[in-house]
Amino acid sequence: MHAIRETNFHLPGQTAFYRGKVRDVYTVGDRLVMVASDRISAFDHILPRPIPFKGAVLNQIAAYFLNATRDVCPNWLIAAPDPNVAIGHRCEPVRVEMVIRGYLAGHAARTYSAGGRLLCGVSLPEGLRENDPFPEPIITPTTKAEAGHDEDISREEILSRGIVSRTDYEQMEAYTRALFRRGSEMAARQGLILVDTKYEFGKKDGRILLMDEIHTPDSSRYFYADGYAERQARSEKQRQLSKEFVREWLMANGFQGKEGQKMPDMPDVFVEEISARYIELYEKVTGLPFLKDESGDPLARIERNILTALGS
């Protein structure tokens, strides 16, 4: 299986290029061309091996949900001309990620088990067990780092430091809750629980727009609804569709992204398992079959489709 580690296109009218953890981003006029590679990151580190079809899964799930949520929040997407490509409006990014959590899981659960009862300025109730629902979803924002770790931050600190204006922040809060409600409803129809997720916003012509991906396994955590209550009652781990199993494998192999830790080698069988899980998530979340392009030259296909979409 061919995996896309990176792209190095030279597009007509291209004025800038940026390589993120997962995406290669080309600026063409007032548009961004985002190519979802098969790179995978965890603990803010890019893992040594790309995952076949991961980029196509990510990009297509994001396009699916961006198109399905336009009525609750305007977004940046103009077109998705290739399984790995999204073309959209260039926005000025808001340097805050809006993380919303419906359940005590992941980072929130680790904070809670260590005795923390305050997360990003939000008080966490006593008596919760890992994967229990919160009385209502909580928003726990992070600062959007240019490089390295994003950092937890409170609503009050964001406003007092003037990172975002009160008007813009309140709009992002409202969009975040509306998007999470819609995502939760769509997940429920597929027999899933949307546990937590994050949204990134930007501004264009004075308007707040939703940017980047939404409700993908890189930005979200899903539980299977079937058997959730029974597993909670028995204090068992929940079946989930997310990237958490990758983090768990890394932790079990002595890596959490901390200084001095060595990234473990990823065996073929684990790379294949990650690929299969991403495809499973696509099909489970969207209810659509995932179509693999196994033609052998995805880079040529991607470049051809971008040029066609740009009218070149």
Contact 157, 191 (CB under 8 A): no
Cβ neighbours for 20, distance < 8 A, ≥ 6 positions apart: none
Taking only the tens place, the pLDDT of each residue in 79-111 is 999 999 999 999 999 999 999 999 999 999 999
Query: Considering the chain, what is the average pLDDT of its residues?
Result: 94
Query: What are 94's two structure tokens?
Result: 């808001």
- Tell me, yes or no, if the two domains 14-91+267-310 and 93-241 fold the same way: no
pLDDT at residue 183, rounded to an integer: 97
Query: What CATH topology corresponds to 93-241?
Result: D-amino Acid Aminotransferase; Chain A, domain 1 (3.30.470)
pTM for the predicted model, two decimal places: 0.89
Q: Phi and psi (nearest 5°) for 67?
A: -70, -30
Q: Which two tokens stand for residue 71?
A: 């009525």
275/307 Cα distance (integer angstroms): 28
The pLDDT of residue 123 is 97
Under CATH, domain 14-91+267-310 is a member of which superfamily? Answer: Phosphorylase Kinase; domain 1 (3.30.200.20)
pLDDT in tens, 226-237: 999 999 999 999
Cβ-contact 209, 203 below 8 angstroms: yes
CB 132 within 8 A of CB 233: no
Residue 147 pLDDT: 54
Q: How far apart are CA 60 and CA 286, in angstroms?
A: 10
Per the CB < 8 A criterion, the answer to whether 198 and 219 are in contact is yes
The residues, ordered by sequence, that sit 6+ positions from 174 with a Cβ below 8 Å of its Cβ are none
Q: Is 25 helix (H, G, I), strand (E, B) or coil?
A: strand
Q: Domain extents for the chain? A: 14-91+267-310, 93-241
Render pLDDT for 123-166 as a digit per residue (tens, 0 to 9): 999 999 999 999 999 999 999 765 556 789 999 999 999 999 99
